[in-house]
Structure 1
Amino acid sequence: MTAELTPDFTEQLTKNFDADPTARLLQNAVATTPIDKVAIDRRVVTSIDHSVSELLDDWSATNQEKSGRCWLFAGTNLLRAGAAKKLDVKDFEFSQNYLLFWDKFEKANFWLESIIETAGDDVDDRTVALLLDRSAEDGGQWNMFTALVEKHGLVPKTAMPETNSSSNTHLMNRDLSVVLRQAARDLRKRAADGASGEELGQAKADVLTTVHRLLSLHLGTPPDSFVWQWKDKDSGFHRKGTMTPQEFAAEYVTIPLEDYVCVVNDPRHPYGQTFTVAHLGNVVGARPVTYLNIEVDLMKKLAVEAISGGEPVWFGCDTSQMCDANLGIWDAKLFDYDAIYNVTSDLSKADRLLHHESLMTHAMLFTGVDLLDNAPRRWRVENSWGSEKGDKGFMTMNDNWFGEYVFEIAVRRDALPADLQAALEQEPTVLPAWDPMGALAR
């Protein structure tokens, strides 16, 4: 049955709108002002300040610029506090560009392996189409961060500083996508013509040679070694000598990354179970991206305990929802869109995941929490959007936003209850490549 829009129907809608003085007033406002400035609830804004009872950060916020490297920034921000303390410096940054280079190169190899694996499927197959859409993404996940550090180590920012393309990845990604999609066409054709695994492997190696050249031109060549020397906060000079990236990571990563696990809150699935997502990862041969699903109240408890113990917390969320970046605040009721549009929004967290309304879009770092009667009321967040937004680059999240839009945190395995530690040993359920929990933080 087809029900087309009739002139009578649309005419009546227009009459109804014109007869509503509130609608006309809002039309005047929205026609000349961004909707979020009209919809923002001033009562929420004025109820928030940036103070918290438990505060860890005494360093400057970082800036990912025009790139999708938030997950790398959040990861290195987690590590830099310990490194700065060991170096006796006020502030310190690991090179995010160094990790970006190796992530891009490893991702290209991982992606080409997936193309070869799915070469027998139609090019319009949903998984193949998704792979082709995601040929050169910046984003990542916690396990992808640790895989890079474990394999390639770390260097200080001075050993591999930012370039134009690391700070603005669009054009590099555009050109890398062309190289990889052309390679996908050629590899699929070779496979269809009966090429052996060895022949496909050599063809992939040829593509990776081009990828390495492209990345080196845009990002610089990652150092095999460098001379490390620095001045401490009292201007004392230190020279460690020549170090490799692996040696530098072993010396200045002060927390046991291998002991961290990623826990998520996904109400679509049973709690206490693990899952992964097909074709999700960056380093071939690394531990797979695995999630343990837990209730959100337990996730909050784990985050509070880590912060109270002196350790920031890496987390992933949907920062596109109910956020004012300039003010640096998140609240589940920050914008009253319902009053403007005369609707009732009642999608649950599970509904939003199921109906493509929400997914993890961004990774940041919890560096503080405000506790009242031992319960969190708001959270302090280190973002990677520079020092101009929020409280010199640090943001404030009301606890109601955490429950709705935070999806995952990285915690030490031994912080989990015994039954959940045991659950980590189970074989994870594999979700399809297009599942929203396979989204990459940018």
Structure 2
Amino acid sequence: MGVEVKQQHAISKAQLDKFASDYQNSPQHRALANAIQKNGVNAVAINQASLINMQYTFSHEIKTGEITNQKQSGRCWMFAGLNTLRVPVAKQCNLDSFELSQNYQMFWDKFEKANYYLESILETLDEATDSRLVAWLLSGPVQDGGQWDMFVNLVAKYGVVPKYVMPETFHSSRTGVMNHLITLKLREYAVKLRNLSSNQHASVNELRLEKAQMLSEIYTMLCHFLGQPPSQFDFEYRDKDNEFHRDANLTPQQFYEKYVGVNLDDYVSIINAPTQDKPFDRTYTVRYLGNVKDGKQVLYLNVEIDQLRDLALQQLKDDEPVWFGCDVGKMLDRDAGIMDTALYDYEAVLGVPFNMSKAERLDYGESLMTHAMVFTGVNVVDGKPNRWKVENSWGTDPGNKGFFIMSDPWFDEFMYQIVVQKKYLPAHLQSALEQEPIELQPWDPMGSLAMMR
């Protein structure tokens, strides 16, 4: 029989004495501690070789417009989507740069999210308020974040407009107070709807009449914060040859059809989620993830990372930008605009290894998609990419005049989603798209919204 070992649950004084003695007896620890405490761990752990290797030159680049700025808002997914759609407008109209209104999309996203939230409350009247589902619904009714298919829903229903038609406002660029006040009202509405149902036994029709009045108040609030969206406008511009153009009385939908003309149904979200619960070459959706009720549901096709890389490369080589979602905060130098797994040597500085796999980071809450940007270039060596050019939406100060650079090893570890035309999918993935999607829970890491600012 083995010797029984007494279990120790609390930290003992003997342990503390040993930890302190081991630390104090290492001259290297003292030197590193002085450097870290004075300069910060990133300054000490920075890998100069990474800064040298991550040069802003690429074998293939796509011409894009001026860098955009989401400022103090979580609209990266929206900016990234509009940055891809502005390319055909600029080409058709002979413009060096062009920008679509992010504020216009934001208005309708907030309004549709309010309705989506209220409908979700009506669908969960039988759930207790402390259930995980209701708690999740109440946690963030109108947050700024979104997903590609949510962007598609907005464009399909409301079209797009040039930026000057509905420009930025104080609260489109600084969304905190607006989001707080609208969230406050929506939670108040949830109280009212649930009380009307449980205490007064109101019918569903009576509850939806209440919902209509609630939406009227939300619409008014959004107009105060963001301005009233146009139903028609004149498109006026002067092209690179200094020729003036005017196209009068366009609706946002007509403008999209005439000047953008991209069939968004031709595109699909491809993800890399290498966890055991998500087999590759299968489609997935997420319960209660959306904005436009009865719109397109969020749909993902999960593939291995090499397949994801190949699809992104194919579309870039055809001179079309690629919308993508990643965990931008990992191994990032925001000022330099560098994303590289070799950027910081934390292990050498701290003497502690970091060994979680991509799947483990997803399963244990260490990583998920936080930000959406656009690939506009790639550097290919012997047929394989080693770094990627990234169009961000944080203004021109960070990075190389607003552009960032991503190493291919970083791509492997922290890239989660790209959007590409279906025509690039091989036959077996074309067939996989026909499957009934597996429904994930709302709190699944693949249910995260891109909203980094």
1:290/1:428 contact within 8 Å kept = yes
Q: 1:326 aligns with which of 335, 338, 341?
A: 335
| 1:287-315 Cα distance to aligned partner (Å, 9 max, x none) | 10010011111111111110110100000
> What amino acid does structure 2 have at the position aligned with 1:22?
Q
1:354 aligns with 2:363: yes
**1:11 shift after superposition:** 2.4
Deviations 1:132-175 (A, max 9, x none): 11122100000000110000000000000000100110110111
> Which residue is equivalent to 2:315?
306
Q: Deviations over 1:266-293 (max 9, x none)?
A: 1111111001111000000111001001
The Cα shift of 1:6 comes to 2.1
**Distance in 1 of aligned mates of 2:142 and 2:259:** 30
Deviation at residue 254 of structure 1 after TM alignment: 3.6
2:425 to 403, 406, 416: 416
Amino acid at match of 1:301: D
Instruction: Map 1:24-173 to 2 at 5 A.
Output: 24-173=30-179
Are the equivalent residues in 2 in contact too, given 1:57–1:368 (CA < 8 A)? no
Which deviations, in whole Å up to 9, do the C-alpha atoms of 1:172-197 show, x marking residues without a partner? 01111101111111112222232211
**Distance in 2 between the 1:96 and 1:126 partners?**
33
**Is 1:293 aligned to residue 293 of structure 2?**
no
Normalising by structure 1, we get a TM-score of 0.98
Residue equivalent to 1:199: 206
Q: Give the superposition deviation at 1:58.
A: 4.2
What's the offset of the Cα at 1:107?
Answer: 0.6
Partner SS state of residue 13, structure 1: helix
Task: Tell me how far 1:122 sits from its aligned partner.
Answer: 1.2
Query: Partners in 1 of 2:330 and 2:99 — Cα distance?
Result: 29
Instruction: Give the counterpart of 1:255 among 262, 287, 297.
Output: 262
8 Å contact from structure 2 (residues 64, 87) kept in 1: no
Q: Give the counterpart of 1:228 among 235, 258, 261.
A: 235
Aligned partner of residue 168 in structure 2, secondary structure = coil
Of 356, 361, 378, the residue aligned with 1:369 is 378
Residues 1:214 and 2:250 are matched in the alignment = no
For 1:35 and 1:197, the matched residues in 2 are separated by: 57
Corresponding residue for residue 403 of structure 2: 394
| Mapping for residues 256-271 of structure 1, pairs under 5 Å | 256-268=263-275, 269-271=278-280
Alignment of 1:168-179 (within 5 A): 168-179=174-185
**In the alignment, which residue of structure 1 is the partner of 2:324?**
315
2:288 to 279, 282, 302: 279
Shift of 1:200: 1.4
Q: Separation in 1 of the partners of 2:307 and 2:262?
A: 22
In the alignment, is the contact (CA less than 8 A) between 2:61 and 2:377 conserved in 1?
Answer: yes
Distance (whole Å) between structure 2 residues aligned to residue 172 and residue 71 of structure 1: 19
Q: Deviations over 1:375-428 (max 9, x none)?
A: 111100000000111111111100001111010111111210122112111111
State the 1:20 CA deviation.
1.5
Instruction: State the shift of 1:333 in Å.
Output: 2.2
Q: Count residues with an aligned counterpart.
A: 442
- Which runs of 5 or more residues in structure 2 are unaligned? 1-6
Match in the other structure for 2:4? none
Following the alignment from structure 1 to structure 2, what is the Cα–Cα distance between the partners of residues 239 and 46?
Answer: 48
What runs of 5+ residues in structure 1 fail to find an aligned partner?
A: none
Further displaced range: 223-232 or 334-343: 334-343
Aligned mates of 2:163, 2:216 — CA distance in 1: 26
Post-superposition offset of 1:323: 0.9
Query: 2:433 is matched by which residue type in structure 1?
Result: L
Q: 1:227 to 1:126 in 2, by over 3 A?
A: same
Which 10-residue stretch deviates more, 155-164 or 235-244?
235-244
CA distance in 1, matches of 2:361, 2:130: 26
Alignment correspondent of 2:3: none
Give how far 1:2 is off. 6.6
Q: State the TM-score, normalized to the length of structure 2.
A: 0.96
Partner AA of 2:43 in structure 1: K
> CA offsets, 1:77-132, max 9 Å, x none?
00111111111111000000000000000011111111111121111111111111
Identity between Structure 1 and Structure 2 (%)? 46
Matched, 1:336 2:345: yes
Which residue of 1 is the match for residue 249 of structure 2? 242
C-alpha distance in 1 between matches for 2:64 and 2:100: 17
In structure 2, what residue type is equivalent to 1:415? Y
Distance 1:34 1:283 in 2: 44
